Amino acid sequence: MSELLSVQSSKAVNKEAGREKLKPHTVSPRLAVPAHIMRPPYVDTGKNPFYDEVQVHDAESLVKMRAACKLAAQVLEYAGTLVQPGVTTDAIDKAVHQMIIDNGAYPSPLTYGNFPKSVCTSVNECICHGIPDSRGLANGDIINIDVTVYLNGYHGDTSRMFFVGSVSDSARRLCETTKQCLDAAIMQCGPGVPVSRIGQVIHEMGERAKLGVVPNFVGHGVGWHFHSAPVINHVRNREPGVMVPGLTFTIEPMLVEGTTRSKTWRDDWTVVTADGKLAAQYEHTILITKGGHEVLTVA
């Protein structure tokens, strides 16, 4: 789930894309979490804290961090199997919620900044933070599912795109390029590498593909805090700091077919492209090791 910051459809048609414009649908009541499951500290406050603390792990905390990230990856993999025409994002949320609590974890987005659901589902022109609702997925949609779990005091955070039925060549290219940007940025990671290198690589790849890289949502440190330093910009930047062994953070580039300008809905979470064109996002949690890096969010 990106730091800084729901979405779904109407009969209004985006004439350029030939598809329905996203519009809010019904959001069902918040799901319950059993009392025995450990909760992050923000749950009862409705706040969305960001910590300046850089989260560097020792061997003991890394065991818990690996477990949280592995569970997040497994949940995301399962969520992807549910993506098909007619399935609502609310149904995906319910299934994700159940799998998370069945594994003794808390769905990190739930009540973070008063977010009402357990997963983010961002469809078509939704850049990020889509709130699951009653809209059924349609053939040709693309959807980002963003899963974060809180297990034994640690957050694991990951997301990826899924195709609903048969999608356009341009939608497929957007998603594939976004994944390539993430992969290329990960390959840059290692001890002593400037944090700013990540944004430089992603921005250059986006420009070569003639796609926009959204500047105002970033990756972040993650671990015992959901969101913390360092800030991981996905565009060219002069953010200070270098990567050190034991550091964990997310990289989560968001690319768009048109303008990088965005609009935020009245729910204070749903972020959509200003021109209604498609957006895509991929995310992994990365560990910096003595010899390079490790992707933690793998099933």
- 129 labeled binding residue: yes
Q: Are strands 284-289 and 279-281 parallel, antiparallel or unpaired?
A: unpaired
User: What does the alpha-carbon distance between residue 54 and residue 40 come to, in Å, rounded to a whole number?
Assistant: 18
| 230 upstream amide cis, omega within 30 of 0 | yes
Q: Which two tokens stand for residue 195?
A: 């944090």
- Asked whether 94 and 31 are in contact (CB, 8 A), the reply is yes
- Asked whether 133 and 107 are in contact (CB, 8 A), the reply is no
- 283 labeled binding residue: yes
DSSP class of residue 107 equals E
Coil vs helix vs strand at 188: coil
Alpha helices in the chain (DSSP H): 59-81, 89-102, 169-187, 196-208
DSSP string, 199-251: HHHHHHHHHHTT-EE-SS-BEEE-SSSSSEEEEE-SSS-----B--TTBEEEE
- Asked whether 93 and 26 are in contact (CB, 8 A), the reply is no
- 77 labeled binding residue: no
Chain mean position to CA 241: 23
- Asked whether 232 and 248 are in contact (CB, 8 A), the reply is no
User: What does the alpha-carbon distance between residue 183 and residue 200 come to, in Å, rounded to a whole number?
Assistant: 13
- 52 labeled binding residue: no
Q: Which amino acid is at 247?
A: L
- 227 labeled binding residue: yes
Annotated binding site: 129, 146, 157, 220, 227, 252, 283
Annotated binding site for a divalent metal cation: 146, 157, 220, 252, 283
Annotated binding site for substrate: 129, 227
